[in-house]
Amino acid sequence: MDLVLVSRRGLITIVFDAPSSMEYRIPGEMRGKRRLDNLSKNYGTCIEGKLLYVKHKLLRMIMNSSMKEHWDEIYAALDADELTWYEEIPEPSIKLLSKCHINTDESILDVGAGSSTFVDYLVNQGFKNIIATDLSEIALNKLKERLDEEKASLVRWIVDDITQPVHIQNLRDIAVWHDRAVLHFLLEEEQQQQYLSTLQKVIGKGGYVIIAAFSLEGAKKCSGLNIKNYDQNMLAKFLGEDFSLLEYFDYKHYMPSGEPRPYIYTLFQKN
């Protein structure tokens, strides 16, 4: 397997030349040659623009690092209300949360919280066990600043990658798992299965799962990234027989530009 390093204005792009049957064909990019050279010392040898030997772990590290940089750049550049997915009031999530029979002291995990206003809503409603997690520390810091120090202290903040969780996987007895537009970014089977494995591990018996994703009629990309479109049946099949579909509905989110984004919102309960 050859990997050609193409450098342009400080951007290193890794171009894969591999058979179509190869399990992992992961194009990635990393900023800064020093970083790539440091990785190559541990996982391969970089000679004349070719990485002669690469382990799968390096491929995954490159992809995850690139994804983190992607979201950090977006959240650093834009205010929350400039983001295409911004909601002043997260009405569809609130609607499904109201169907969950939980007390305010039970745990709610917001996966991919970013700078979402859902966390603001939970704090203002008096929920006492809120966990906000995201790949981007910049996003979470902006959310903390918006809440102010007192309210932010009521939330447990976790910077983690749902496809390679370090901290999230140690949680237990989560009453509500809330994911608005994280799952649909996971295109690799391994990423999806890690997401599912983590969800199954941390959600308590009788716990609820709220998942929102771009619907089959929705956009095929978001923030420059390809996504996987879903409907309620696909999400039910993904979660499996341990979860029952309680409610679902189509919803059109309107971006700041006024352009609609069709979503599917679903509510499941662990059997």
Strand order in the sheet with 174-180: 155-159, 129-134, 107-111, 174-180, 203-214, 260-270, 243-254
For residue 66, the model assigns a pLDDT of 83
CATH superfamily of 85-270: Vaccinia Virus protein VP39 (3.40.50.150)
Domain ranges of the chain: 2-77, 85-270
Mean pLDDT of 233-237: 98
**Left (φ > 0), alpha (ψ -120 to 50) or beta: where does 19 sit?**
beta
Average pLDDT over residues 150-170: 96
pLDDT (average), residues 74-82: 90
Give the pLDDT band of residue 4 (cuts 50, 70, 90). very low
Across all residues in the chain, what is the average pLDDT? 82
Q: Give the whole-number percent of the chain exceeding pLDDT 70.
A: 76
pLDDT for 177-187, tens place per residue?
Answer: 999 999 999 99
Instruction: Please give the pLDDT value at position 47.
Output: 36
pLDDT digits (tens, 9 = 90+) for 48-76: 333 433 344 444 544 566 888 999 999 99
Q: What is the pLDDT of residue 64?
A: 62
pLDDT at residue number 67: 86
